[in-house]
Chain A
Amino acid sequence: MTRARLLVAIVAVAIALVLQVSLFPHVAWHGIVPNLCLLVVVGAALTLDAPSAMLLGFTAGVLLDLVPPADHVAGRWALALTVVAFLAARVRQDVKPTAAAVVATVAAASFVGTSIFALSGLFLGDGGSVPHLLEVIAVAVLWDVLLTPFVLPPLLKVFSSLDPRLATT
């Protein structure tokens, strides 16, 4: 069962990744696209058990780092999305999360994830200037929050139907 869940989650990440690089650039604002992979990782962290979610976050990050056209130092998104999965799994409540809680979690996750990526870039010396960086982070958070109502409900439904412990609620 666990294996099936992880497999479905990885397929979801792969679909999100392809849409993110091939579809959304056509509607992007200054090249900033919604980070669908991050949304999938947050969705997994809110429903699946924490270790699976973190492993998924790491896998999604490695994919974002390596699948073309990525050309930054590999491991930066892996780091960012692992931390995102850890934090999202921590804020999860014992009850089914309300819509507001999901949106707040996504906003926080998007901010933290994009910031960790940007800061690691500054640290490695291939980031941009700080004002540009802040602008990108702000728009990215906005995008992710805007897409949350369309992406997260079906994701949460799929993930919780796969989780035997949550299927009954």
Chain B
Amino acid sequence: MAGLGGGGTSSGRERRWRGLDRLESRNRPPRSLLVALVLASVTLITLDFHGGTDSPVEPARRALGEAFGPVEAATAAAVRPFTAVPTWFRTKGSLSDEIRDLEAENSDLRSQVASAGFEKNRLEEYDGLTQSAENLGQALVPARVVAYASSQTFSKTVTIDAGSSSGIGPDMTVVNNDGLVGRVLRVTRTTATVLLITDPESIVGGRVGSSMEIGFVHGTDDSPAGDELELRLVDDAVVPAKHDTVVTWGSSGGPYEAGVPVGRVTDVYSSLRETSQRAVIEPFVDFSALDVVGVMVPTGTTSDRAVIEADGALR
């Protein structure tokens, strides 16, 4: 076996030729194993594809989540101080630029608030009417994002560091201080997997703030960053106006709580062929910089961490 290294001399050539036969038998990947493993993969795909939410793969997912969740949380905690480093190196010019932009945005928002009073009142009235019967109080369980699915997987999900021991369960609404983030798909004891609303498979019942029209907000995968949503209204005759705010519609038993801000209408396209209106929504949440999120749980939920109640109290 000494000749396997392949010397550069002329005699090495001869040895290498002889060595090659043995190498062939040793190195050639066994086809039978390839077939077996490919079949195993295909079986796994079939099982999971047809199983849906109660697929036999789900317990394995959960077990691995239990094992990897704490490791991911620890890694994210270790990495966090370093991700802030780029923000230290900022020039005065960029800071003053940002101040100018923020001032412009501020005055823009002020004028919007001044004109949107009527719509806001109507929205509040409506919410009050439909939900006066039920308990509006929702508590928030704070959590941090510890892992992100890569774009190579073509799905937009994240892992947060709070799970069933914090009172979180599937289908709960996840928000941050800007608006709707997504919903909980599945939980382990210490972590939860969240489907972001920008995922192509995510559908959120949305309501246009000014007209109270309802529709469905889909994630898209066309834009490279993927941070764009699409709104299709149920009533084809209504055209959503630009800069309209879209909030969640909320249904009893459904995954999303009502009245959570989703985004703002930036463009409206009319498709003659499909005779429907398609509006592009810019989400309020910056999905490339997700960190602290809150999971909406029923008030009074027992949790192993501090819970923010509807009135702002910490429990």
Chain A: residues with CB nearer than 8 A to chain B?
Answer: 14, 17-26, 28, 30-33, 35, 49-51, 53-55, 57-58, 61-63, 65-76, 78-79, 82-83, 85-86, 89-90, 92, 94-96, 114, 117-118, 120-121, 124, 126-129, 132-133, 135-136, 140, 165, 168-169
Contact = CB atoms under 8 A, between A and B. Distances in A.
A50 B28 contact: yes
* Chain A to chain B: the 8 pairs with minimum beta-carbon distance, closest first: A75-B44, A79-B41, A75-B45, A50-B29, A25-B148, A21-B147, A31-B151, A128-B221
B37 interface: yes
B314 interface: no
Contacts of A89: 27, 29
Given A73-B45, A127-B154, A165 B222 contact: no
Given A33-B152, A94-B20, 14 more contacts: A23-B79, A25-B148, A49-B26, A51-B29, A55-B37, A61-B41, A67-B64, A68-B68, A70-B155, A71-B155, A75-B48, A82-B37, A94-B23, A169-B5
A51 B26 CA distance: 10
Contacts of B5: 95-96, 168-169
A71 B195 contact: yes
B226 A30 contact: yes
A75 B51 CA distance: 13
A89 B34 CA distance: 11
Contacts of A132: 221-222, 224
Interface in B40-83: 40-49, 55, 57, 60-61, 64-65, 68-69, 71-72, 75-76, 79, 83
Contacts of A129: 221-222
A128 B6 CA distance: 47
Interface stretch (B185-193, B251-259, B265-273): B185-193
A82 B38 contact: yes
B33 A68 contact: no
B4 A94 contact: yes
A28 B157 CA distance: 15
Nearest to A53: B29
Contact of A75 (B33, B41, B194): B41
Contacts of B33: 50-51, 54-55
B68 A67 contact: yes
Interface string B102-122: 000000000000000000000
Interface of B is mostly: helix
Contact of B61 (A66, A96, A165): A66
Contact of B75 (A19, A72, A120, A127): A19
Given A49-B26, A61-B41, A68-B191, A21 B149 contact: yes
A50 B34 CA distance: 10
Question: Size class of B's contact patch?
Answer: 35 or more
Interface in B191-240: 191, 193-195, 200-201, 221-222, 224-226
A78 B4 contact: no
B1 interface: yes
Nearest to B60: A66
Contacts of B76: 22
Given A68-B68, A70-B157, A168 B2 contact: yes
Interface in B151-168: 151-159
A153 B259 CA distance: 54
Nearest to A122: B154
B40 A30 contact: no
B132 interface: no
B166 to A, nearest CB: 15
B185 A71 contact: yes
B250 interface: no
Given A21-B148, A22-B147, A67 B45 contact: no
A121 B154 contact: yes
Contact of B48 (A24, A73, A140, A165): A73
A36 to B, nearest CB: 10
Contact of A74 (B45, B75, B79): B45
A135 B38 CA distance: 27
A54 B41 contact: no
Interface string B15-37: 01001100100111110011001
